[in-house]
Chains A and B, each alone.
Chain A
Amino acid sequence: MPQIKVYQGDEIPSPMRKIWLTFADNPFAFAGLWAVAGFLLLAVFGPLIAPYSAEHQDPQALLLAPSWDPAGTVEHFLGTDDLGRDIFSRLLHGAHLTFGVALGIVLTSLVLGFIIGSISGMMKGLKSSILSHLLDALLSIPSLLMAILVVAVMGPGLNNVFWAVGIALTPQFVRAIHQAIHEELQKEYVKAAKLDGANPIQIFWYVIMPNVWDTVIIQTTLGISAAILDIAALGFLNLGAQAPSPEWGAMVSQGMDNILTAPWTVTIPGVAILCSVLAINLVGDGLRSALSPINN
């Protein structure tokens, strides 16, 4: 006989809280959230806690192995590269270049994409169709090719990476938001709101937007991980951040010369990129599964 509750007051959590509860229920997603918070802190305060500056060269410690290796020392926790620069400090200095710039790019293109996407999503007929053709063409240029075009016009450098990745990302946001809004517009409840006399702005903000936020959120997490990977790939190909910069992808490419004698110069920045992208993807995955029951 199970225990009998006399008064079964059922607490019904608000939608936001429900999403949070589902999200927090998933340990992986929660760990990802902590990791993302950690990376954010590093991106802001990394240079302050770094033991050395990014360009500081220690001629006594060239290609020093990480501290867990018998040859390594604790002074250079993750070892040094071929110029005697401390990899740990460079990683900390590079956090805001890779992770921070990625966030900046995504925020900028999210705002742009949101504005263009919502305007085009609310439009109908020829204008909307022209815009979607334009977007299809822009989307068919892979982000790396877009970056190559931008670099060809403006020359390599981290500033230009900002434009390159931003231009490649914006159409994705526009398209996702455009499609989400377009799909919602077809639904009956929008028609009902229209019959109630809502004007287009009210329909957009009060009727459609609440149902599009989850697309925006999911697209943002996807965008951040894509942006990190793109920045790193451009850095690796020497098209983005240039040689002395502690950007993580550029660090991998600088370590390539010594990959046989000192594999950690390649491995460690790579692991840093992997961890940051994995953290973002864990959060995105958790959010997606937390948001999906609402759709069903």
Chain B
Amino acid sequence: MVRYLLRRLNLFLATSLVLFIVLFIVTNQFPVEQRFALTGIQSPNAQQIAQIETDFNLNSGVFNQFIAYLQQRLSGNLGISATSQRPVADELASVLPATFELAAVSGTLALMFGLPLGILASLSRHKVTQHTIMAITLTGYSIPVFWLGLTLSLWFGVELGWLPISGRLNLLYEIEPVTGFMLVDTLLSTSPYSTSAFFDAVLHIILPAITLAVLPFTVVVRITRSAMMTIMDQTYIKAAEARGLHTSRIVLRHALPNAVIPVIKSLGLMLGSFASYAMVVEVIFAWPGIGSWLVAGIYQRDYTVIQGGVLAVALIIIFLSIMIEVLHTSINPLSRKELYASN
């Protein structure tokens, strides 16, 4: 097991290294001066130029430049944003929690509704139910997320006026950021309005979270359904029936743990498109997360913000996908079997 974890860590490091190489090459291709692309300082004075050149080792070969680049980036120096003149790392720290909050809520929603619906779909032998569920999930899978977001905000936000359509919290409330997660912060806050602020935060997150949850929800339903259908035909399910176990017990204890395994695997594969969707959703609902920050960065040609954002998102995705793989291995004894076989 230790050996396996070491190999995953090795994979993480190797993949991150490749990512840094790609970013280094891209940075040199940006259509601006290299010094500006690296640090974000628009018009540096002579002293700053000298500092940048020693920091990034600009006068030596490409390899040494890369090493210096890697050192700077790993030590947390992501440069400063050209528009706000604040360090990119600080800005990242302020926008990341919002994205995590949104992603966590919609991921939970997708799993909470997707798994049971997938199981129900697999258990029903009724043609109409099956076709309906397939039609819904296929449509959900095909819907362009920006259009879905606009339509939802038009209906629920404008015509019905039920839900707010932009931001994380009404501007009336002033909440001290502690964790960065608005749902937690409002509860922690000592202000007399903290409960109403919490409900306001909940109202704000509903629309973006639902919009973002559509893709993982449909994927979870489809994978759960097909996995359950194959598993329910397996001998061990028949054997469990033959032992006289109750159907609900068979489904929950024997079929579900087996069906969750491919679902987890598909979640890992879906991370990339999930991140893309999250960015679009953040732009539509003016959610102050990393996606809208990054898109604003590209509108303003803020190259340090682009680099920092891409680096952060890609690293998070690499990390999460490896974590999901480890989780997949840890709950799936069968994959451990392959592990023993390969070692």
Chains A and B touch (C-beta atoms under 8 A apart): yes
A interface residue numbers (CB < 8 A to B): 28, 133-134, 136-145, 148-149, 151-153, 155, 225-226, 229-230, 232-233, 236-239, 249, 252, 256, 259-260, 263, 266-267, 269-270, 273-274, 277-278, 280-282, 285
In the complex, residue of chain A having the shortest beta-carbon distance to the beta carbon of B298: A148
Chain A contacts for B150, CB-based, 8 A:
252, 256, 259, 266, 270
In the complex, residue of chain B having the shortest beta-carbon distance to the beta carbon of A137: B18
* A142 contacts B19, C-beta separation under 8 Å: no
Chain B contacts for A236, CB-based, 8 A:
144, 146, 280
Name the segment of B38-46, B60-68, B135-143, B327-335 touching the other chain: B135-143
A247 to B276, CA, bound (A): 20
Q: Per a CB cutoff under 8 Å, which of B18, B144, B280, B321 touches A144? A: B280
* B30 contacts A153, C-beta separation under 8 Å: yes
SS class, residues of chain A in contact with chain B: helix
Q: Per a CB cutoff under 8 Å, which of A134, A138, A153, A225 touches B29? A: A153
Chain A contacts for B188, CB-based, 8 A:
none
Known contacts A152-B298, A270-B147, A273-B147; is A141 also within 8 Å of B142 by CB?
Answer: no
* A140 contacts B31, C-beta separation under 8 Å: no
A260 to B161, CA, bound (A): 13
* B314 contacts A141, C-beta separation under 8 Å: yes
* B294 contacts A148, C-beta separation under 8 Å: yes
B83 to chain A, nearest CB (A): 15
Q: List 5 A-B contacts (CB under 8 A).
A: A140-B272, A142-B276, A145-B310, A148-B295, A249-B144
Taken residue by residue from 284 to 313, chain B's Cβ proximity to chain A (1 for < 8 Å, 0 otherwise) reads as: 000000000011001101010010011001
Is B9 part of the contact surface with A, judged by Cβ < 8 Å? no
* B19 contacts A140, C-beta separation under 8 Å: yes
* A144 contacts B276, C-beta separation under 8 Å: yes
Is B223 part of the contact surface with A, judged by Cβ < 8 Å? no
Chain B contacts for A133, CB-based, 8 A:
11, 14-15, 18
Q: Which of A28, A145, A274 has the most CB of B within 10 A?
A: A145
Chain B contacts for A277, CB-based, 8 A:
142-144
Is B128 part of the contact surface with A, judged by Cβ < 8 Å? no
Chain B contacts for A143, CB-based, 8 A:
272-273, 276
Apart from A232-B146, A274-B144, what are 19 other A-B pairs with CB-CB below 8 Å?
A133-B14, A134-B18, A137-B18, A137-B19, A137-B22, A139-B272, A140-B15, A142-B279, A144-B276, A148-B295, A148-B306, A151-B298, A152-B301, A153-B30, A239-B298, A252-B147, A266-B154, A267-B151, A270-B144
* B272 contacts A252, C-beta separation under 8 Å: no
* A145 contacts B275, C-beta separation under 8 Å: yes
* B138 contacts A273, C-beta separation under 8 Å: no
Q: Which of B15, B19, B135, B158 has the most CB of A within 10 A?
A: B15
A27 to chain B, nearest CB (A): 10
A138 to chain B, nearest CB (A): 7
Known contacts A226-B273, A281-B141; is A136 also within 8 Å of B22 by CB?
Answer: no
* B139 contacts A142, C-beta separation under 8 Å: no
Chain A contacts for B280, CB-based, 8 A:
144, 233, 236-237
In the complex, residue of chain A having the shortest beta-carbon distance to the beta carbon of B20: A137
* B144 contacts A229, C-beta separation under 8 Å: yes
* B22 contacts A138, C-beta separation under 8 Å: yes
Q: Which of B19, B143, B146, B280 has the most CB of A within 10 A?
A: B146
* A155 contacts B298, C-beta separation under 8 Å: no
Q: Which of B117-139 contact A (CB under 8 A)?
A: 131, 134-135, 138-139
* A142 contacts B313, C-beta separation under 8 Å: yes
A145 to B313, CA, bound (A): 9
Chain A contacts for B309, CB-based, 8 A:
145
Chain B contacts for A28, CB-based, 8 A:
131, 135
In the complex, residue of chain B having the shortest beta-carbon distance to the beta carbon of A253: B146
B276 to chain A, nearest CB (A): 4
A14 to B303, CA, bound (A): 57
A153 to B25, CA, bound (A): 11
Q: Per a CB cutoff under 8 Å, which of A134, A155, A274 touches B142? A: A274
A285 to B218, CA, bound (A): 14
B115 to chain A, nearest CB (A): 21
Known contacts A133-B11, A136-B11; is A142 also within 8 Å of B144 by CB?
Answer: no
Q: Per a CB cutoff under 8 Å, which of A149, A273, A274, A281 touches B26? A: A149
* A274 contacts B139, C-beta separation under 8 Å: yes
In the complex, residue of chain B having the shortest beta-carbon distance to the beta carbon of A282: B138
A295 to chain B, nearest CB (A): 12
Q: Per a CB cutoff under 8 Å, which of B138, B306, B321 touches A149? A: B306
In the complex, residue of chain B having the shortest beta-carbon distance to the beta carbon of A151: B298
* B276 contacts A232, C-beta separation under 8 Å: no
Taken residue by residue from 266 to 284, chain B's Cβ proximity to chain A (1 for < 8 Å, 0 otherwise) reads as: 0000011101100110010
Chain B contacts for A270, CB-based, 8 A:
144, 147, 150-151
